Amino acid sequence: MTEIVRLALEEDIGTGDVTSAACVPETQLASGRFLAREPLIIAGLELLPEFYRHVTVHKRDGDACAAGDMIAEVSGPARTLLERERVVLNFLQRLSGVATLARRFADAVQGTKCQVLDTRKTTPGLRRLEKMAARAGGVTNHRQGLFDAILIKNNHIAAAGGVRNAIERARPSGLPVEIEVRTREELHEALDAGAAHLLLDNLTPDEAAEWVREIAGRAKVELSGRIHLENVRAYAETGADFVSSGAITHSARAMDISFRLELA
Average pLDDT score over the chain = 97
Is 257 found in the same domain as 241? no
**Is residue 253 scored above 80 in pLDDT?**
yes
The answer to whether 167 touches 179, Cβ cutoff 8 Å, is yes
Q: How many helices (H) and strands (E) does the chain have?
A: 11, 12
Is 97 found in the same domain as 125? no
Tell me, what CATH number does 174's domain have? 3.20.20.70
pLDDT for the residue 125: 94
Q: Which letter does DSSP use for residue 173 in this model?
A: G
pLDDT digits (tens, 9 = 90+) for 54-97: 999 999 999 999 999 999 999 999 999 999 999 999 999 999 99
Rounded distance between C-alpha atoms, residue 80 and residue 45, angstroms: 18
Is 176 found in the same domain as 52? no
pLDDT digits (tens, 9 = 90+) for 143-167: 999 999 999 999 999 999 999 999 9
Pairing of strands 257-263, 54-57: unpaired
Is 42 found in the same domain as 136? no
**Residue in 185, 190, 158 with CA at minimum distance from that of residue 171:** 190
**Residue in 82, 76, 89, 74 with CA at minimum distance from that of residue 17:** 82
Is 236 found in the same domain as 113? yes
**Is residue 1 scored above 70 in pLDDT?**
no
Pairing of strands 29-36, 257-263: antiparallel
Is 95 found in the same domain as 70? yes
| Average pLDDT of span 129-142 | 98
pTM of the model: 0.95
Q: How far is CA 206 from CA 29, 103, 115, 178, 228, in A?
A: 62, 25, 19, 22, 16
Number of independent structural domains in the chain: 2
pLDDT for the residue 54: 98
Geometric angle at alpha carbon 180, from 111 and 253, rounded to 5°? 55
Is 208 found in the same domain as 132? yes
pLDDT digits (tens, 9 = 90+) for 161-218: 999 999 999 999 999 999 999 999 999 999 999 999 999 999 999 999 999 999 999 9
Q: For helices 205-215 and 184-192, what crossing angle results, to 10°?
A: 30
Residue range of the domain that includes 32: 3-101+252-263
Is 114 found in the same domain as 232? yes
Rounded distance between C-alpha atoms, residue 186 and residue 101, angstroms: 34
Residues noted as catalytic: 86, 121, 153, 180, 201
